[in-house]
Copies of this chain bind each other. A is one copy, B any other.
Amino acid sequence: MIDVSKAPYAPGITVWRQIVDDIQQRIDKGELQPGEKLPSEGALASMYGVNRHTIRRALQELAAIGRLRIEHGRGSFVAATVFDYQLEERPRFSEWVKKYNRPGSSEVLEAAIIPLQDLPELPRILRYEVFPNYPNVAMVETLGKLGEHPVSIARHLFFGERLLGLVDDLQKGLGITASLKERGVGDYTRLKSTISAALPKARERQLLAIDNKSDPIFICENVNINQEGVGIEFSTVIYPASRVRLVYEPG
């Protein structure tokens, strides 16, 4: 909660700007957490010792620059941290981490060899007509985080005899990209991504730490191929829409 040391306001700078700066600093310091509700306008007005209009002017500004979310009849809330995920031909989680300069992690939730026939998404996969018809695939499920924020649940399916060893590699602590390189897949590119949206199931909400029941998730189905055009990986990645935006930038 906010504790205002009722200092007199500096002259020469408008009061509402000083309040904007103050609240922004409290957010940056972590004193105010993403999603947290601010006191009501009336309460803030008396805490800061100003008129409600002055508080409103400050809150409007903070909302305009994306630090707050104001909801009619409910209150003002500290905006969630948002990570822009770039749709690219060569998507790499490590690039994303670098962009936001936070400790990224990719925890393996599950890894197993699965018979092709058991895949519920098999008909969709076959329709792309790029994946080799091996009897088994390597399935790896990972939870991606940027800093403390869970940002993705990825279900990777790797096609090809050599890639089945990936499951072991990962349990030895090797990363996916590293293991692929080891196994002769140095470069792979995106053929297609199909994006849909839905509300999360219970497990997804829990893993992605989605508080608000009405926050949707993105569901991206990706087809990745090697330089010869052979399907290497089919992945289904779930992103929490409250924390991740997808960005398309041609060229």
A residues sitting closer than 8 Å to B (CB atoms) are 61, 64-66, 84, 87-89, 120-124, 127, 189-199, 214-218, 241, 245-251
Min CB distance A157 to B, Å, is 15
Please name all residues of chain B whose beta carbon is closer than 8 Å to the beta carbon of A122 when the two chains form the complex.
64
Please name all residues of chain B whose beta carbon is closer than 8 Å to the beta carbon of A66 when the two chains form the complex.
123-124
Whether A191 lies near B249 (C-beta < 8 A) is yes
A247-B214 in contact given A65-B124, A122-B64, A124-B65 (Cβ < 8 Å): no
Whether A197 lies near B218 (C-beta < 8 A) is yes
* Docked complex Cα distance between A121 and B63 (Å): 10
Whether B245 lies near A248 (C-beta < 8 A) is no
Whether A250 lies near B195 (C-beta < 8 A) is no
Whether A190 lies near B245 (C-beta < 8 A) is no
Copies of this chain present? 2
Task: Please name the residue on chain B nearest to A216 by beta carbon.
Answer: B216
- Chain A interface mostly: mixed
Closest 7 CB pairs of A and B: A197-B241, A216-B216, A89-B250, A195-B246, A64-B123, A193-B248, A197-B197
Task: Please name the residue on chain B nearest to A65 by beta carbon.
Answer: B123
Min CB distance A85 to B, Å, is 9
Contact partner of A245 (CB less than 8 A), chosen from B61, B194, B199, is: B194
Please name all residues of chain B whose beta carbon is closer than 8 Å to the beta carbon of A247 when the two chains form the complex.
192-195
Whether A88 lies near B250 (C-beta < 8 A) is yes
Whether A248 lies near B250 (C-beta < 8 A) is no
Please name all residues of chain B whose beta carbon is closer than 8 Å to the beta carbon of A249 when the two chains form the complex.
191-193
